Chain A
Amino acid sequence: MADDPKFKNRKFKAVGTRPPRPDGLDKVTGRAKYGADTFAPGQLVALVLRSPHAHAQIKRIDTSKAEKLKGVKAVITSKDLPDVTNGDRDLYDTLENCLARDRALYDGHAVAAVAAIDELTARKALKLIRVTYKVLPHVTDVDAAMKPGAPIVQPRVYTRGVSPKPKSPSNVAKVSEFGHGDVEAGFKAADVVVEKSYKTEQTHQGYIEPHACLASVGPDGHGELWVTTQGHFVYRNTCAALLGMDVAKLKVTASEIGGGFGGKTHVWMEPIALALSRKANRPVKLEMTRDEVFRSTGPTSSTSIDVKIGVKKNGTITAASAELRYQDGAFPGIWAMLGAMTAYACYDLKNVKTIGYDVLVNRPKVAAYRAPSAPMAAFAVESTINEVAAKIGMDPVDFRIKNAAKEGTKSSYGPTYGPIGIGPTLAAVKKHPHMRGKLGKNQGRGMACGFWFNFGGETCTDLNIGVDGTVTLTVGTVDVGGARASLSLIAAEELGIPYERVKCNIADTGSLGHNHMTDGSRGTFSSGMSTIFAARHAIEELCQRAANTWEIPVKDVVWHEGNAIAKGKKHKQLQPLSLGDLAAGSENTGGPIAGHSQIVADGAGVSFASHICDIEVDPETSATKVVRYTVIQDAGKAIHPDYVEGQFQGGAAQGIGWALNEEYIYGDDGRLQNPGFLDYRIPVCSDLPFIDTQILEIPNPNHPYGIRGVGETSIVPPLAAIGNALSDITGVRMTHVPMSPPRIRKAIKEKQA
């Protein structure tokens, strides 16, 4: 049963250890090649012209002067990317987002692009392009966009998820309702009902590496793309479809990736580079500036959320509901829907109802950001949970424990849970020394929980055994931060050989079957499963080769700790054959030895975390400082604990930045006012304390090693954990994220008044 995904308990030798990562040396010596670090002979430099308006009709684009400038080799507008999407709505949205067609939909929307012999020439050429705009009314606020009479962002969008089908277009792109039971009856049965409204501002993934690619397409329809991405196979499909190319003729190589967090799961500008290259018949390099990254790629939604929770005096929640309004930017997404699905996922609720409104505004197309949409919903729900606990005089941790979801709970988004980790993370919070640590002056403590689904998907893996018995593991999921080490550990474990004898490579799209991208915390879950299966297939072959060597039936051969062993007394004279022995003799036993796996890795395990934090607030300035932070999360199984801890710590840090500082600020003119790291301030080293971690391992029954995936959940609890800590210090409930000093001061003053 090589391909049996069911979890089997076992004693691990390699898995769970902390060896150095195989790409470590390249990354500390500057040798690792990221998106902008490669060059092609004869390459051109591309730059993109972007709309300065939040919403405008593009009446005319005159590129003639730019084209005539010496050194300019190609200028493109949307005419050079004709619509070949064949009615595919998502693909058309991607096309229109890459390069505006009749209208610019947000400040920073690309309208034209040039490729020239150097950057200086390209910059001059951009200035020579004349765009005639007719400025249109715009809307950037989610609540304003839902009001009657708001400017319509996309006349082709009619609200989905309502019946009957609406007759006129709307900024509400989708309505999504989840839940079960009877919430009205539940609220009637409650002793206390708490209702609160919240707002969260838009944040960016903030990866340090801007988008960058090197494209090369010839008039023969063959092409190559080197790009920083979380999923080069998916980029290939999308780019080929938009350019009208054959998928097989576009080879995409994933560079090392300088952070993605969801923002590099979406195609933003690669079709522009490909189209320029096709037109110029030269390689084209396109790098975004930080300003372009902020203005035109991947922020998460800003939101407006109403929460209502009813409770008995004994602490039982009788009903919970939420209305979640998330903006999607200028193109329909599923972000409010995800908020509505995740909002109450931590709890065992008899009556629950959530309704999500996905709303279009004149802002960049919203993209996934680490457990997308869950942090905002958790901020609203987990803040209210504390308010409810306070109203009935119950400890907030005990209150959560009493209502926590468990195996057999019908989840708020539908299915019934298998074995899950929310209860154990809460029990660990109760026991954690952090909860008993002394608080200093002006300090307070808060905690909160978080949930993310995790998922798997299409995965293809090769495992080849070299003539010296070393193993080349070839995977198609991009390594965003340690996956090559984890997957090598898994191959070593399964084959029974040392970690040092495995080398893991990320294949380009010409060298392996299709792989879905690294998202949904799926990298180690999916490629881990696929690696196990590929190794098991290789072991079957190795046993056959041993049988051939010994001239005995293969059923008499077993694989044990890196050796083929002949079973039974009649074979006792046969010495074990190691992987190295079998590899050395492979030429005469059937040729190369390999294992392969092509699967859909389904059955990912849901993930829960509980965070504890201590905050200090300066009573004069309301400046905040995180003084202690603890992450407790269920990993299912930690393959390389260093990088599991790293995911916990990194997610928490991003959540802390979101909670306290980070926000997109739009002016009345609909333009982004802070597109840079100076004014969009992500946490720096001196802002943070050490982030303590506790890894719990509640095995996922649908993975051979019990892996759940760990990448995303850790960003979910910090917003509310910090809000709850602030409430502990100031007695004020913060309802607007980021909880920046001016907002904290205002809230305290309002309470005093």
Chain B
Amino acid sequence: MMAGTLVSTMINGDATEFVCQTGETLLEVLRNRLGLTGSKEGCGTGDCGACSVTLDGRLVCSCLVLGVEAQGREVGTVEGLADGDSLHPLQSNFIKHAALQCGICTPGFLIASKALLDRNSNPTDEEIRFALAGNLCRCTGYDKIVRAVRATATELRKK
């Protein structure tokens, strides 16, 4: 057995250490070693976005990032979106606008939507659609997802 590598990182604001093999993806580490199963594997090739997380604020597919690359960086996952018992407005609006059916793609969409709204507080529908084009949803036809993101942008701008 190969020796693992010790990695020190921040996950959702918490200092976290883990040991992983050098070939292991960040997604595998999150799911199998840290029990953070909110990030999903839909393809393992960066095509579906179900594993979307942020790395130092930047949107990435965690299936394309190695676990060891998280060393010294900040990882944001769906588990860190809510602030205690108050949901992020994106989370409340996804429920309110029925923007999910099966829900498997939802964590990825939430992370990608937050990444969009963090850099553009007033996106057009087209900007929303292109910002979310890396996330596949097979249930909804995206209609209610775009509406939920739009409603959240409006809500956040009023704050």
Contacts and interface: CB of A to CB of B under 8 A. Distances in A.
A153 to B, nearest CB: 30
Interface string A480-512: 111000000000000000000000000000000
A653 interface: yes
B78 interface: yes
B95 A24 contact: yes
B110 interface: yes
A28 B104 contact: no
A691 B144 CA distance: 9
B42 A208 contact: yes
B39 interface: yes
B142 to A, nearest CB: 4
B82 interface: yes
A256 interface: yes
B14 to A, nearest CB: 15
A208 B144 contact: no
Given A208-B48, A677-B45, A684-B136, A258 B104 contact: yes
A34 interface: yes
B54 interface: no
Contact of B146 (A39, A289, A683, A690): A690
B69 interface: no
Nearest to A676: B45
Contacts of B110: 28
Interface stretch (A189-197, A334-342, A644-652): A644-652
B105 interface: yes
Interface string B45-86: 101101000000000000000000000000001110110000
B67 to A, nearest CB: 13
Given A206-B138, A208-B138, A37 B37 contact: yes
B10 interface: no
B9 interface: no
A26 to B, nearest CB: 8
B103 A32 contact: yes
Nearest to B46: A678
Contacts of A646: 98, 101, 139-140, 144
Contacts of B132: 684-686
B129 A686 contact: yes
A450 B16 CA distance: 54
Contacts of B31: 36-37
A208 B21 contact: no
A25 interface: yes
Q: How many of chain B's residues touch chain A, expressed as a range?
A: 35 or more
Interface string B21-54: 1010000000100011111111111011010000
Contacts of B41: 36, 210, 287
Contacts, number: 184
A34 B104 contact: yes
A322 B118 CA distance: 55
Nearest to A651: B141
Given A31-B38, A289-B44, A677-B45, A649 B104 contact: no
A25 B95 contact: yes
A168 interface: no
Nearest to B80: A30
Which of the listed residues B102, B133, B141 has the most CB atoms from chain A within 10 Å of its own CB? Answer: B141
Interface in A245-272: 256-261
B37 A21 contact: no
Nearest to B32: A39
A480 to B, nearest CB: 6
Contact of B38 (A23, A30, A643, A653): A30
B6 interface: no
B78 A653 contact: no
A29 interface: yes
A753 interface: no
B151 interface: no
Interface in B98-121: 98, 100-107, 110
A120 B140 CA distance: 36
B100 A27 contact: yes
Nearest to A38: B37
B98 A643 contact: yes
Given A208-B42, A290-B45, A20 B138 contact: no
A209 interface: yes
A256 B47 contact: no
Nearest to B139: A650
Contacts of A688: 129, 141-143
Contact of A643 (B78, B101, B106, B141): B101
A579 interface: no
B90 to A, nearest CB: 8
B95 A20 contact: yes
Contacts of A259: 101-102, 104, 138-139
Interface residues of A, number: 57
Contact of A677 (B39, B47, B77): B47
B106 A28 contact: yes
Contacts of A684: 132-136
Contacts of A642: 97-98, 144
A209 B133 contact: no
Which of the listed residues A23, A257, A258, A260 has the most CB atoms from chain B within 10 Å of its own CB? Answer: A258
B42 A210 contact: yes
Nearest to A640: B98
A18 interface: yes
Contacts of B141: 649-650, 652-653, 683, 688, 691
Interface string A204-225: 0111111000000000000000
A654 interface: yes
Nearest to B101: A481
B87 interface: yes
A33 B135 contact: no
A30 B107 contact: yes
A532 interface: no
A20 B92 CA distance: 10
B102 A480 contact: yes
Contacts of A29: 38, 78-79, 81-82, 87, 91
Contact of B103 (A36, A258, A289): A258
Interface string A671-698: 0000011100011111110110000000
B143 A690 contact: yes
Contacts of A482: 98, 101
Contact of B136 (A28, A32, A208): A208
B96 A682 contact: no
Which of the listed residues A645, A654, A684, A687 has the most CB atoms from chain B within 10 Å of its own CB? Answer: A684
B133 A686 contact: yes
Contact of B138 (A32, A120, A207, A676): A207
B135 A650 contact: no
A28 B100 CA distance: 9
Interface string A450-494: 000000000000000000000000000000111000000000000
Interface string A421-459: 000000000000000000000000000000000000000
Given A30-B38, A481-B139, A685-B129, A650 B101 contact: yes
A649 B140 contact: yes
A401 B120 CA distance: 48
A688 B78 CA distance: 26
B137 interface: yes
B102 A481 contact: yes
Interface in A620-669: 642-643, 645-646, 649-650, 652-654
A643 B99 CA distance: 9
Interface of A: 18, 20-21, 23-25, 27-34, 36-37, 39, 120, 205-210, 256-261, 287, 289-290, 480-482, 642-643, 645-646, 649-650, 652-654, 676-678, 682-688, 690-691
8 contacts: A28-B87, A30-B38, A36-B31, A208-B102, A208-B104, A290-B42, A684-B133, A685-B145
Given A120-B23, A258-B105, 11 more contacts: A28-B91, A28-B106, A29-B87, A120-B21, A209-B42, A480-B101, A480-B102, A642-B98, A676-B45, A682-B136, A684-B132
The 4 closest A-B pairs by CB, nearest first: A30-B38, A258-B104, A481-B101, A653-B141
